Amino acid sequence: MRRPAAFLDGFARVVFAVSRGIASSLSLYDPSVTGPPASGSRQLPRDIAELKALAERQPELAPAAALQIGLIEAVRRVQGRLSTPWIEATADVLASRLAGGTPLLEFDQIAFEWNDVRLLIRQITDVLRRHDAVDADTAGALHGVGRSPQLPATLRLWFEGGTLPPIDMLDEVLSWAARPYLQRTVEVLQQRVSLDTWRRRQCPMCAAEPDFSVITSSGERQLVCGRCHARWPFDPIACPYCGNDDRKTITSMATSDGAYRVMICQVCSRYIKALDARRSTRPLLPYADAIATLPLDAAVMRKIDQEK
Ligand SMILES: [Zn+2]
Ligand SMILES: [Zn+2]
């Protein structure tokens, strides 16, 4: 799924491609949305508001922001219909699983509404097609996955990290379609356990990799799961992809306002971006921050090119 050498992974690669000509200056950030942090699904309208503001402030990011808003709106339409999953495991059982290093979320616990998942796959594909992120043949293949009786098996394969059919963007489309259901189950699990002692590289909930991070007001680092958006504490220096913690082989850069940082690992050639809560005027908005930091992705790629 994720190739170590791919400096832009998955969806970031697509939104990046949609926004060709991203400004090279990193001094343009002006996070203007303020207020108390929201959580889970209720956060989406704030992401949309911030994406609209971002598109006005930085017109070169407008195409990527419009794509992202289209995807968020597709997800929001099914969120009102989510049911609450029933988790049998007690708090003690969950805590001991975490203590043993086992992520909590199992595919069979997730309360998928298959008709809505199929609808989401179709709508997400249509949004990608409208923004030219996939061609007509690929869109047809993606629609086919959504219609297939095999969809539950395909989604299980995706969740468990198996090899998916070779269709461009399938991983990303399934991520978007499954996320509301993953997040709802994670919300239920999170009411029963603390993730404070989990300091591993994979998500304590769904076992995926982090794809963003937050530096808290006290200077600690939290990783943010790329799949379910759960957050957990992690070593402030070490690379969350390969574990390298030798400062000499880890480069750090920041935007001029200090709101965003990026840490590049020279051992595995991957990097992770961060929102620095000590300098930002608002909490993390995962969907908006993915777009707001595209210029930082561009800067990282230039730096890696220069060093070659
Ligand atoms: Zn996760
Ligand atoms: Zn690394």
Please state, in angstroms and rounded to a whole number, the distance separating the CA atoms of residues 84 and 77.
Answer: 17
Residue 269 Cα to chain centre, angstroms = 19
Distance 28 CA to ligand 1 centre (A): 31
Distance 197 CA to ligand 1 centre (A): 16
Q: Which residue has the tokens 């913690």?
A: 245
Looking at domain 10-23+41-307, its CATH class is alpha beta
Distance 230 CA to ligand 1 centre (A): 5
The stretch 144-172 carries a mean pLDDT of 97
Q: What integer pLDDT is reported at residue 11 of this predicted model?
A: 53
Distance 17 CA to ligand 1 centre (A): 26
Distance 250 CA to ligand 2 centre (A): 8
Distance 288 CA to ligand 1 centre (A): 18
Distance 190 CA to ligand 2 centre (A): 28
Residue 83 reports pLDDT greater than 80? yes
Specify the pTM.
0.86
Of the chain, the percentage scoring pLDDT greater than 70 comes to 86
The residue with greater pLDDT, 174 or 18, is 174
Give the tens place of pLDDT for each residue, 32-50: 333 333 345 556 889 999 9
Q: What integer pLDDT is reported at residue 48 of this predicted model?
A: 96
Please state, in angstroms and rounded to a whole number, the distance separating the CA atoms of residues 180 and 75.
Answer: 7
Distance 74 CA to ligand 2 centre (A): 34
Q: Which two tokens stand for residue 118?
A: 């199929």
Q: What angle do CA 264, 269, 273 make, to 5 degrees?
A: 35
Of the chain, the percentage scoring pLDDT greater than 90 comes to 75
Q: What is the mean pLDDT of the chain?
A: 87
Distance 169 CA to ligand 1 centre (A): 19
Q: How many CA atoms lie within 13 A of 61 on its CB side?
A: 30
Please state, in angstroms and rounded to a whole number, the distance separating the CA atoms of residues 306 and 308.
Answer: 6
Q: What integer pLDDT is reported at residue 88 of this predicted model?
A: 83
Distance 248 CA to ligand 1 centre (A): 30
Distance 242 CA to ligand 2 centre (A): 4
Distance (Å) of CA 87 to CA 184, 191, 295: 12, 11, 41
Q: Which residue has the tokens 């998500």?
A: 203
Q: What integer pLDDT is reported at residue 17 of this predicted model?
A: 57
Distance 35 CA to ligand 1 centre (A): 26
Q: What integer pLDDT is reported at residue 169 of this predicted model?
A: 96
Query: From the CB of residue 109, how many other CB atoms can be counted at a distance below 10 Å?
Result: 16
Query: Lowest-confidence range among 2-6, 111-115, 117-121, 175-179?
Result: 2-6
Q: Residues 15, 67: contact at Cβ < 8 Å?
A: yes
The stretch 218-234 carries a mean pLDDT of 95
Q: How many CA atoms lie within 13 A of 217 on its CB side?
A: 4
pLDDT tier, 113 (very low <50, low <70, confident <90, very high otherwise):
very high
Distance 268 CA to ligand 2 centre (A): 4
Please state, in angstroms and rounded to a whole number, the distance separating the CA atoms of residues 243 and 245.
Answer: 6
Distance 204 CA to ligand 1 centre (A): 7
Ligand nearest to the Cα of 210, by number: 1
Distance 126 CA to ligand 1 centre (A): 26
Secondary structure (DSSP) of the chain = ---TT-SS-HHHHHHHHHTTT--S-S--------SSPP-GGGGHHHHHHHHHHHHHH-GGGHHHHHHHHHHHHHHHHHHTTPPPPP--S-HHHHHHHHHTT--S--GGGS---HHHHHHHHHHHHHHHHHTTSS-HHHHHHHHHHHHSTTHHHHHHHHHTT-PPPS-TTHHHHHHHHHHHHHHHHHHHHHTT---TT---SS-TTT---EEEEEE-TTS-EEEEETTT--EEEE-SSS-TTT----GGGEEEEE-TTSSEEEEEETTT--EEEEEETTT-SS---HHHHHHHTHHHHHHHHHHHHHH-
Q: Which two tokens stand for residue 184?
A: 């709802």
Q: What integer pLDDT is reported at residue 18 of this predicted model?
A: 59
Ligand nearest to the Cα of 241, by number: 2
Extents of the domains making up the chain: 10-23+41-307
Please state, in angstroms and rounded to a whole number, the distance separating the CA atoms of residues 220 and 233.
Answer: 7
Q: What angle do CA 203, 66, 263 make, to 5 degrees?
A: 40
Ligand nearest to the Cα of 270, by number: 2
Identity of the residue numbered 53: A
